[in-house]
């Protein structure tokens, strides 16, 4: 094993340990040095993290394990999705996906069933 292989393995281990310590969307954004608007993150934190997770999974399926640079780019992309949009429009969670197919029924169309 070369010194370079050992250094890469150590860096990879430290990166995995660092990631394990991160708990919030703000932690992830700060760790990767991504500027963010606290108010936007406060409103969409779970959606941003879920979108980030989805992007990571997509990357793994297409390209294998993401690098540190990939993590940063994918998190930046996930955050950017919610800068000029909102959770309902982005439909990250199943509840929003299902809601898109629900039709409304006007109150006037609701009738009381008679005795049976």
13 or 7, higher pLDDT: 13
- Rounded distance between C-alpha atoms, residue 26 and residue 15, angstroms: 17
Query: pTM to 2 decimals?
Result: 0.73
Residue ranges of the alpha helices (H) in the chain?
3-21, 25-31, 38-63, 68-81, 87-90, 94-99
- Rounded distance between C-alpha atoms, residue 9 and residue 90, angstroms: 37
Residue 9 lies in a domain: yes
Domain count, the chain: 1
Residue 115 lies in a domain: no
Six token digits for residue 84:
């000029």
Q: Which domain holds residue 94?
A: 3-109
pLDDT in tens, 28-79: 999 999 999 999 999 889 989 999 999 999 999 999 999 999 999 999 999 9
Residue 95 lies in a domain: yes
Q: Confidence band (pLDDT; 50, 70, 90) for 96?
A: very low
Residue 116 lies in a domain: no
- Rounded distance between C-alpha atoms, residue 46 and residue 31, angstroms: 17
User: Do the beta carbons of residue 72 and residue 33 sit within 8 Å?
Assistant: yes
């Amino acid at each position: 094993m070369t010194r370079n292989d050992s250094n890469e393995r150590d860096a990879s281990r430290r990166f995995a340990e660092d990631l394990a310590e991160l708990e919030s969307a703000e932690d992830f954004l700060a760790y990767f040095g991504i500027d963010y608007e606290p108010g936007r993150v406060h409103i969409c934190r779970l959606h941003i993290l879920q979108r980030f997770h989805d992007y990571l999974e997509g990357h793994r399926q297409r390209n294998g394990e993401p690098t540190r640079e990939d993590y940063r780019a994918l998190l930046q992309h996930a955050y950017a999705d919610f800068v000029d949009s909102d959770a309902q429009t982005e439909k990250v969670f199943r509840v929003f996906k299902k809601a898109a197919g629900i039709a409304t029924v006007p109150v006037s169309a609701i009738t009381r069933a008679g005795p049976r």
